[in-house]
Amino acid sequence: MDLKYHIGGDGDFRSMDQAVQKINQVQSGQEAVARLNEALAQREFNRLSTLDKIVRLKQQEQQLLEQAAQQQAQGNTGAAANAALEALRRREQVERLLAQSQREREATARESAQAGER
């Protein structure tokens, strides 16, 4: 004989099995949301770390360009060229990190949109 259960205004359940099934579905959904939130928080942390790296690389690039200018002014073209080359390497690293950051933002936006659809 089936007993009728009523759970928090969610509706009438004709049996205990249906009530348990509904509870399990809700718990699974809550666990999925928690995992998604954790993943999004980790991505945000990574993004901030990437931005920190970008700032440091841009500062290094600026310092190297200033060093190159000083070396050039002193007539030391070899040292000036080396410093300019290192500055160029920093700029390339920044561009790679910016592209990576953009891809990560796009992936996060897609996942957030997909999670919102669920």
pLDDT in tens, 37-79: 888 888 888 888 999 999 999 999 999 999 999 999 999 999 9
pLDDT in tens, 11-44: 555 677 877 888 888 888 888 888 888 888 888 8
Angle at CA of residue 10, ends 21 and 29, nearest 5°: 50
Sign of CA dihedral 93, 96, 98, 101: negative
The whole-model pTM stands at: 0.66
